[in-house]
Amino acid sequence: MSVALRAAVGDLAPRVLVTLGSGLGGLADEVADATSLDFGDIGLPGPTVPGHAGRLIAGTLAGVPVLVQQGRVHLYEGVPGRDVAACVRAAAEVGVRTFLVTNAAGGLRTEQHPGDLLLIADHLNLTGTNPLVGSATFVDMAAAYDPDLRAHAHAAAGDAGERLTEGVYAGLLGPAYETPAEVRMLRALGADAVGMSTVLEVIAARAAGLRVIGFSLITNVHREGGTPTDHAEVLEAGATAGPRLAAVVRALLPRL
């Protein structure tokens, strides 16, 4: 896998892997001197979910050599945890040292609104699995979301005219959206946003020694009594607010 990716990126020495969540894939179009690599061509499992393209874009973004992951694999597609984290491991093997991950998430705070930008300070892995299962790898997750990088993210957001709030992201298996009872449980556990990705990728990134910075784009907010949610709504909110998160990412990349 890493051999195929190394051959595909050529002389580029990517420093950052940028993973784009649902509705956020447009940032990949801004990569300069871009080489598009389909997952299958470099030995990576491909996604089956609408809104997830299934390719890596190698090039430069905001002057920084990057790999941009456009589309990701989720546990609910019936794949093992190792496949979910395969792209992160491959990026680490070709020299990437920082993982910038984004996702679309449901908000759990009553004061949140669709379009809010959440800087992930910590997570709850409630998927029931781990990408390190089957190995004897023990990883310290005490500061999984790098405090120094979070400080840079706040500064970058200010430069972009945006405001970030920090919070805890809960990663669930999916693909069903949360029931009102599950929303109450997640709030009681201290979660501020909920989604179906990210946590396994972050565990794999930390196991590989990568620094991590993560963002959730709040696409819907769970209100008391239950709030209907569908995937089209998530994609629409991502498309509307995605350019604002993209502006933060552009301002942040040169600081990483």
- Find the mean pLDDT for residues 236-244: 79
- Find the mean pLDDT for residues 103-110: 94
Q: Give the chain as a 3 state SS string.
A: CHHHHHHHHCCCCCCEEEEECCCCHHHHHHCEEEEEEEHHHHCCCCCCCCCCCCEEEEEEECCEEEEEEECCCCHHHCCCHHHHCHHHHHHHHCCCCEEEEEEEEEECCCCCCCCCEEEEEEEEEECCCCCCCCCCCCCCCCCCCCHHHHHHHHHHHHHCCCCCEEEEEEEECCCCCCCHHHHHHHHHHCCCEEECCCHHHHHHHHHCCCEEEEEEEEEEECCCCCCCCCHHHHHHHHHHHHHHHHHHHHHHHHHC
Whole-number pLDDT of residue 239: 74
Q: Is residue 1 pLDDT above 60, yes or no?
A: no
| CA pair distance 122, 137, nearest whole angstrom | 20
Domains in the chain (CATH in brackets) are 2-255 (3.40.50.1580)
Q: Read off the amino acid at residue 156.
A: A
Whole-number pLDDT of residue 157: 98
Tens digit of each residue's pLDDT (9 = 90 or more) over 38-80: 998 898 987 776 656 789 999 999 999 999 999 889 999 999 9
Q: Is residue 193 pLDDT above 70, yes or no?
A: yes
Whole-number pLDDT of residue 54: 86
Whole-number pLDDT of residue 93: 94
- Find the mean pLDDT for residues 106-124: 95
Instruction: Give the chain's mean pLDDT.
Output: 91
Q: Is residue 25 pLDDT above 80, yes or no?
A: no
Confidence of residue 118 (pLDDT cuts 50, 70, 90): very high
Question: Which positions are annotated as active-site residues?
Answer: 22, 52, 74, 76-77, 104, 196-197, 220, 231
Confidence of residue 234 (pLDDT cuts 50, 70, 90): low
Whole-number pLDDT of residue 47: 75
Q: Give 8-23 as a 3 state SS string.
A: HHCCCCCCEEEEECCC
| CA pair distance 3, 25, nearest whole angstrom | 26
Whole-number pLDDT of residue 217: 94
Please name which of 67, 72, 62, 69 lies closest in space to residue 94, comparing C-alpha atoms. Answer: 67
Confidence of residue 8 (pLDDT cuts 50, 70, 90): confident
Q: What is the chain's length? A: 256
- Find the mean pLDDT for residues 2-26: 86
